Amino acid sequence: MIYRFLAELGAYWKFLLQVFRRPERFAEYRKAFWRDVDSLGVKTLPLVIIISLFMGAVVTIQTALNLEDPLIPRYYIAIAVRESILLEFAPTIVSLILAGIVGSNISGSIGNMRITEQIDALEVMGINPAGYLVLPKILANVFFSPVLLIFSMTGGLVGGYLAGWWLGLLSPGEFLQGLRLEFQPFYIAYSIFKMTVFAFFIASVSSFFGYRVKGGPLEVGQASTQAVISTILAIILFNYILTDLILQ
């Protein structure tokens, strides 16, 4: 079991070395980068906003239910919502969701290219398939993740604001007061860093599983499932490690 895990880890590192080899032609990689920014980033933006809006609303409702003591000011609800959204929900939960959506997309498309010999075709042409197919995806995911994060944070806070106001849990003034109180901008930098690390794992781990598929469509499906599970585990593990290292 441990031997197998270490062997997989070694294979993943070897794969990354292949991915980060010098591109044959930068212009082609740049084209692929912008294509991937669109397909992996821009197209997931509406979903991230919708999820974040509802996530913010639910966190507000649950916090309000747990802070019913009349001695606790209502703006404390907004503080709790802010901290939850900025520190954990926006970077981690959104990354877990993206691991499912983007991760399965990446491993499925690369796996399909493998079984239909498109990857072999690139290799025969003298193009490094791992670099050409994976590097732009990793860079697109990493560079677009702060954008997704900012939209997710904003969506979560707007959702919380609307839920608080709509359900009469706290007034808009109290919500805004809570948002501003003892706000630490460092939390945003911390979240961006965390999300960037997760974005790297989403793209690289999913690509790794797709790239080494052997067999047919059934194996591509299995690789996608494995990719999503492994990415989620990596995110959870590194979430713990980064939180411990940075916030402690």
Partner 1 sequence: MISVRNLHKSFGDQQVLKGIDVDLMPGKCNLIIGLSGSGKTVLLKSILGLIQPDEGTILYDGRNLKTLESHEARKVRQEMGMVFQGGALFTSQTIEENVRLPLDFFSTMSASEKRDRVHFCLERVRIQNAAHKSPAELSGGMQKRVAIARAIVLNPRYLFCDEPNSGLDPETSMVIDALIQDITHEYGMTTVINTHDMNSVLEIGEHVMLLKGGEKTWEGTNDEILHADQPDVVDYVFRSNLMKKVRGALSRG
| Residues forming the site for partner 1 (CB under 8 A) | 24-25, 27-28, 112-113, 116-118, 120-121, 123-127
Q: In angstroms, what is the minimal distance from the CB of 202 to partner 1?
A: 20
Nearest CB to partner 1, comparing residues 57 and 130: 130
d(CA 136, CA 32): 6
Nearest CB to partner 1, comparing residues 28 and 240: 28
Residue 248 burial (10 A CB sphere; 0-12, 13-18, 19+): exposed
Q: Region of 126 please: left (phi>0), alpha (psi -120 to 50) or beta.
A: left
Q: In angstroms, what is the minimal distance from the CB of 112 to partner 1?
A: 8
For residue 83, give the amino acid letter: E
Nearest CB to partner 1, comparing residues 29 and 151: 29
> 63: closest CA among 174, 194, 192?
174
d(CA 190, CA 244): 12
Q: In angstroms, what is the minimal distance from the CB of 126 to partner 1?
A: 4
> 145: closest CA among 191, 201, 199, 187?
199
Q: In angstroms, what is the minimal distance from the CB of 39 to partner 1?
A: 9
Nearest CB to partner 1, comparing residues 8 and 28: 28
